[in-house]
Amino acid sequence: MARRKSPKPRRKPASRRRRPQKRRPVLRTLLAVAVIGFIALLVYVAWLDGQVRQQFEGKRWALPAQVYARPLELYPGQALTVDQLQAELRRLGYRERNRPHQPGTYARLGRSLVITTRAFDFWDGREPSRPLRVEFSRRGLSDIWRADNGDVLDLVRLDPPLIGRIYPAHKEDRVLVRLDEVPPLLIDALLTVEDRDFYQHHGVSPRAIGRALLANLHAGRTVQGGSTLTQQLVKNFFLSSERTLTRKLNEAIMALLLEWRYDKDEILEAYLNEIYLGQDGRRAIHGFGLASQFYFERPLGQLKIEQIALLVALVKGPSYYDPRRYPVRARERRDLVLSLMAERGMLDSAQAAVAREHSLGVTPRATSGVTRLPAFMDLVRRQLRRDYSDEDLRSEGLRIFTSLDPEVQQAAEAALSGQLARLPGEDLQGGSVTVDVNSGEVLAVVGGRDPRFAGFNRALDAQRPIGSLVKPAIYLTALARGDYTLATLLDDGPLTLDLGGGETWQPRNFDHQSHGQVPLFQALAQSYNQATARLGLALGVPAVLDTLQALGIERELPAWPAQLLGTASLSPFEVAQMYHTLAAGGFRTPLRAIRAVLTPQGGPLQRYPLEVVQAAPALPVFLLDAALVNAVRHGTGKSAYRSLPGSLTVAGKTGTTDDLRDSWFAGFSGDRLAVVWLGRDDNQPAGLTGARGALRVWADTLRRLDVQPFEPPAPLGVEWVWVDSRSGLRIDKDCRSAVRLPFAEGTAPRERARCQD
Amino acid sequence: MPRHLFFPLRHIIPIVFALFVTACAGPQTGEEDASAVTGRAATSLLARADTHVQAGQWEQAAALLERALRIEPRNAWLWHHLATVRFRQGRYAQAVSLANKSNSLAPGDTVLREKNRRLVEQARQAAARS
């Protein structure tokens, strides 16, 4: 290592070449080799320089992007209660005052609110600060006028709640700190323990290496490292624990390069934000800012002496000294750090003694991510990374406007956690996505039973077989062909398909019964596998896959028959895309979590416009939706009405997979679509059908929201007919087996069945 | 205080819409569109969208129309206006889709359906030309 300690002088090769020694060919060859070698080395060093600079520059951020929920619009006629508006004002941090004259204050007077709004710059213009009086009637918000001059206002947009700060170019959460925000005690302790000569050396410290060498020889094994902070930083950039000599050499060169290019404080700041300090499932904890949140749930500036000492102690080996798993080891090392701090005069001995008396002070469970909405933020981050260049995302202080609806998010979280707590099995997990039917905007994402936990995001990443959720695609394929109606009889008898090579496929009904001839709408409502598989085979698996693709499933699915029973593994988010197209009358809209991104100067980086594509003709989608309404009203989804009012028309489908591993429900009202998955992360049976698990969460979510019934306008050429749910024939509407169903004009059954009540 | 203003101001719509239509060279129909049921909030956004349309600021107009659609998502007229803006931007496929969406929400509105039909026709022709 000492040989390459200092950068080479550059002139040398040139000056030698000027005086070639012609009489000595051996020497000349040697010289040529040396020159070539030297040039190669220079190129190599330049390459390393590029690498390390890219890393260093890429990790320097000052201002995070601010992420906002949707702004609340206020207008007469809106279905909004005075309590809901007050809740929003509290979320926004408006203060209750007797005289609310200042922007950001309000007063409640019985059923009305007097508010002075804050001004806010949106992507489509500025919303000025205004004094408002907002009146409510039993039906909702009735009037808004200016509190100062009585002018009537048609529409007011409040400022949007800030829901988080993120570094969109990073894959993970960060809490970046500036050097001046870091407690000096932490820096002093860090330098004492890890790199005493930091402000003296040039990236590599021969003294430290010597010291370490002596200590290691003395102990007969590696007890001390000689790496400087700069070397550790470089090591962290490339995330390799390889301990080869080349690796070390590369690190040393890059450390020298970093020191040459940047000053000490810049390097120290990068180190403080980059160093690896723990692991939270799949999430790596980098930097002291995040580590402080992770271990103590408080910002760095609020840490006590012993907590600072613990973080410094962790640098040596975050998993070996993990304070949650190995508290004894962690405490020993922390106390060692405290002693060193006292030795160097950072603490007096009394302070150190008191600090040693304290317990580790870590929170019991690593529940807290940086944001309260880790699953939704995850989606925002992914859509940003998908749609923007890294360069744009690195701009400081972006403002990101999302479609998150705090009230819907709250309802979805409460429903998932609440229902999971009531269902058996501590290992039971789940995820849900809630979408606005009309705009395709994502309103809420829940990634697991603990919605604050920034771990595995099941709403986006749990890819599970969808089971019967696939069936609407099969029935839509049939209805779109024109020769099937909702009353067409399907054969639910047993079937065996020869797959060739001696293999057969035998789909079975859930109840292990065959139901003979059943009307199409009934086969969907009861989720009969045999009738559905036979129908799907008649239509052709590729035709069904085409429908799935049109509905918005982008994943390539192999065209084997088992697809007809939902062997495709999809995430709740993907399912939401598919069902959104059904809820929106056959118009597909890419699900969006972001409305617009603005630069700090207020210029739009990009807006996400509303785009629709007609994915399926309106009439068959209308027929299918009616069948999905019937499936909740009378079929496998009917237990939804244990929590929903009978007057609320909703549509949806249950999904259950083999051995009850996955419990699904996807469904919609007129304005909200939600997809819920429940199951276990280890893919063991959860013991729940779609109806007994996910459906409960779904219904509970909708119950908590003031949703609109699903009542799409009938396309032209539709007639409604009362049909017998057993025979599919026309029947008297007073019959118990009568169901009212839509048909394309001229295709309704003509024959009448006799009432069997 | 004018509490009775809870209901839509129907008389504003023809004016706003007439402005809108004259600004759009696309679908030309002279009749008044009093059949549109648009609330005050959406109407005011529509009026603001119109000023952007007149100035040829299509994206700003679209942003306001989308905002109006969040308030009245089932308003087939708003979807039609958005379709018209996309048509003027030369985004013909979107214009067709949005006009179809508008139709799907207005099965009984013959006036609007006729406008959408013409818009779709013009968009298809324009797309074929370009």
Residue recorded with tokens 């760095």: A300
Distance from CA of A665 to the nearest CA of B (A): 25
Task: Report residue A180 as tokens.
Answer: 């001046």
Q: Counting every residue, how long is chain B?
A: 130
d(CA A751, CA B5): 53
pLDDT band, residue A491 (cuts 50/70/90)? very high
- Structure ipTM: 0.79
Residue A672 pairs in a beta bridge with A436
Query: How far are the Cα atoms of A14, A204, A384 from residue A10, in angstroms, in the given order?
Result: 8, 21, 45
Contact list, A585 vs chain B (CB under 8 Å) = 101, 104
Nearest to B1 among A150, A437, A716 (CB): A150
Distance from CA of B58 to the nearest CA of A (A): 12
Position A15 scores a pLDDT of 47
Distance from chain centroid for Cα A721: 45
Q: What share of chain B is helix, strand, coil (3-state, %, to 5)?
A: 70, 0, 30
Taking an 8 Å cut-off on Cβ atoms, the answer to whether B70 and A154 are in contact is no
- Is A468 an annotated catalytic residue? yes
Q: State the average pLDDT over residues A86-98.
A: 93
Contact list, A145 vs chain B (CB under 8 Å) = 1
Task: Look at residues A108, A111, A103 and name the one whose alpha carbon lies nearest to residue A139.
Answer: A111
**Under an 8 Å CB criterion, which residues of A touch B?**
73, 75-78, 123-124, 135, 137, 142-143, 145, 150, 152, 154-155, 437-439, 585-587, 607, 609-614, 618, 671, 713-716
- Compute φ and ψ for B62, nearest 5 degrees: -65, -40
Position A224 scores a pLDDT of 64
Yes or no: say if A163 and A68 are a contact pair by the CB < 8 Å rule. Answer: yes
Q: State the average pLDDT over residues A530-536.
A: 97
Residue of A nearest to B72 (CA): A438
B7-129 fold: 1.25.40
Task: Report residue A395 as tokens.
Answer: 């701009």
In the DSSP assignment, the letter for residue A752 is B
Provide DSSP, A431-469.
EEEEEETTT-BEEEEE-SSSTT--S--HHHH--EE-GGG
Query: How far are the Cα atoms of A224, A474, A576, A652 from residue A668, in angstroms, in the given order?
Result: 62, 19, 10, 6
Q: What is the mean pLDDT of chain A?
A: 89
Position A557 scores a pLDDT of 94
- Tell whether the model's pLDDT for residue A306 goes beyond 50: yes
- Tell whether the model's pLDDT for residue A315 goes beyond 60: yes
More confident residue, A484 or A386: A484
Taking an 8 Å cut-off on Cβ atoms, the answer to whether B106 and A713 are in contact is yes
Q: State the average pLDDT over residues B60-80.
A: 94
Nearest to A124 among B60, B71, B108 (CB): B60
A426 exposed, middle or buried (CB, 10 Å; 0-12, 13-18, 19+)? Answer: exposed
Share of chain A above pLDDT 70, in %: 93
- Tell whether the model's pLDDT for residue B14 goes beyond 70: no
What predicted TM-score, i.e. pTM, was given to this entire model?
Answer: 0.78
Query: How far are the Cα atoms of A408, A702, B101 from residue A434, in angstroms, in the given order?
Result: 8, 10, 22
Task: Look at residues A63, A609, A168 and name the one whose alpha carbon lies nearest to residue A391.
Answer: A168
Delimit the CATH 3.30.2060.10 region(s) of chain A: 71-159
Residue of B nearest to A154 (CA): B41
Position A551 scores a pLDDT of 97
Taking an 8 Å cut-off on Cβ atoms, the answer to whether B66 and A609 are in contact is yes
Spatial neighbors of A534 by CB under 8 A, at least 6 apart, are A490, A491, A492, A493, A495
Task: Report residue A674 as tokens.
Answer: 């939600």
- Choosing among B52, B70, B103, which should be mutated to test the A contact, i.e. which has the most A CBs within 10 A? B70
d(CA B78, CA B107): 15
Lowest-confidence region among A108-122, A360-374, A740-754: A360-374
Q: State the average pLDDT over residues A520-537.
A: 97
pLDDT band, residue B34 (cuts 50/70/90)? very low
Question: What CATH number does the domain located at A71-159 have?
Answer: 3.30.2060.10
d(CA A321, CA A279): 12
Which of the given ranges, A59-73, A245-259, A734-748, has the highest pLDDT on average?
A: A734-748
Under 8 Å CB pairs connecting chains A and B tally to 94
Determine the longest span between alpha carbons in chain B, in angstroms: 56
Q: What is the dihedral of CA A574, A578, A581, A586, to 10 degrees?
A: 150
Query: How far are the Cα atoms of A510, A653, B56 from residue A530, in angstroms, in the given order?
Result: 10, 17, 58
More confident residue, A370 or A71: A71
Position B9 scores a pLDDT of 42
Position B3 scores a pLDDT of 39
Taking an 8 Å cut-off on Cβ atoms, the answer to whether A152 and B104 are in contact is no
Q: State the average pLDDT over residues B18-35.
A: 40
Task: Report residue A746 as tokens.
Answer: 């001229």
Provide DSSP, A16-73.
HHTS--TT-HHHHHHHHHHHHHHHHHHHHHHHHHHHHHHHHHHT---SPEEEE-PPPE
Position B95 scores a pLDDT of 97
Taking an 8 Å cut-off on Cβ atoms, the answer to whether A587 and B97 are in contact is yes
Contact list, A620 vs chain B (CB under 8 Å) = none
- Tell whether the model's pLDDT for residue A17 goes beyond 60: no
Task: Report residue A349 as tokens.
Answer: 């001995």
Q: State the average pLDDT over residues A159-172.
A: 80
Q: State the average pLDDT over residues A676-693.
A: 93
- For A618, the 3-state DSSP assignment is helix
Q: State the average pLDDT over residues A276-282.
A: 81
Position A52 scores a pLDDT of 81
Distance from CA of A163 to the nearest CA of B (A): 21
More confident residue, A133 or A12: A133
More confident residue, A11 or A224: A224
Lowest-confidence region among A229-238, A517-526, A582-591, B100-109: A229-238
Position A644 scores a pLDDT of 96
Position A23 scores a pLDDT of 63
A253 exposed, middle or buried (CB, 10 Å; 0-12, 13-18, 19+)? Answer: buried
Position B24 scores a pLDDT of 44
Distance from CA of B9 to the nearest CA of A (A): 11
Taking an 8 Å cut-off on Cβ atoms, the answer to whether A715 and B74 are in contact is no
- Tell whether the model's pLDDT for residue A10 goes beyond 50: no
Nearest to A155 among B1, B45, B59 (CB): B45
- Tell whether the model's pLDDT for residue A8 goes beyond 70: no
- Tell whether the model's pLDDT for residue A71 goes beyond 90: yes
- Tell whether the model's pLDDT for residue A263 goes beyond 80: yes
Nearest to A438 among B60, B62, B73 (CB): B73
Position A165 scores a pLDDT of 80
Q: What's at A500, amino acid-wise? A: G
Give residue A484's region: left, alpha or beta (phi > 0; psi -120 to 50). Answer: beta
Residue of A nearest to B76 (CA): A713
Taking an 8 Å cut-off on Cβ atoms, the answer to whether B98 and A76 are in contact is no
A442-448+463-724 fold: Beta-lactamase (3.40.710)
Distance from CA of A620 to the nearest CA of B (A): 13
Q: State the average pLDDT over residues B15-20.
A: 46
Provide DSSP, A534-555.
HHHHHH-HHHHHHHHHHHT--S
- Tell whether the model's pLDDT for residue A522 goes beyond 80: yes
Distance from CA of A395 to the nearest CA of B (A): 23
Residue recorded with tokens 């007129």: A670
Distance from CA of A111 to the nearest CA of B (A): 14
Residue A445 pairs in a beta bridge with A433
- Tell whether the model's pLDDT for residue A251 goes beyond 50: yes
pLDDT digits (tens, 9 = 90+) for A372-414: 798 999 999 999 988 887 777 777 788 999 999 999 999 999 9
Yes or no: say if B69 and A439 are a contact pair by the CB < 8 Å rule. Answer: yes
- Tell whether the model's pLDDT for residue A310 goes beyond 80: yes
d(CA B23, CA A725): 53
Contact list, B112 vs chain A (CB under 8 Å) = none
- Tell whether the model's pLDDT for residue B16 goes beyond 80: no
pLDDT digits (tens, 9 = 90+) for B39-66: 889 999 999 999 999 999 999 999 999 9
Taking an 8 Å cut-off on Cβ atoms, the answer to whether B97 and A76 are in contact is no
Yes or no: say if A420 and A179 are a contact pair by the CB < 8 Å rule. Answer: no
Taking an 8 Å cut-off on Cβ atoms, the answer to whether A152 and B70 are in contact is no
d(CA A393, CA A64): 10
Task: Report residue A411 as tokens.
Answer: 């309802």
Q: Which 18-37 residues of chain B touch chain A by CB within 8 A?
A: none
Delimit the CATH 3.40.710.10 region(s) of chain A: 442-448+463-724
Position B7 scores a pLDDT of 37
List the catalytic residue out of A468, A527, A663, A725: A468
Position B12 scores a pLDDT of 46
d(CA A579, CA A324): 43
Position B1 scores a pLDDT of 38
Task: Report residue A727 as tokens.
Answer: 């025979």
Yes or no: say if A197 and A207 are a contact pair by the CB < 8 Å rule. Answer: yes
Q: State the average pLDDT over residues A228-241.
A: 79
Residue of B nearest to A436 (CA): B70
pLDDT digits (tens, 9 = 90+) for A574-616: 999 999 999 999 999 999 999 999 987 777 777 788 999 999 9
Q: State the average pLDDT over residues A162-166.
A: 85
- Compute φ and ψ for A723, nearest 5 degrees: -130, 145
Task: Look at residues A713, A716, A721, A714 and name the one whose alpha carbon lies nearest to residue A748.
Answer: A721
Q: State the average pLDDT over residues A145-150.
A: 92
pLDDT band, residue B11 (cuts 50/70/90)? very low
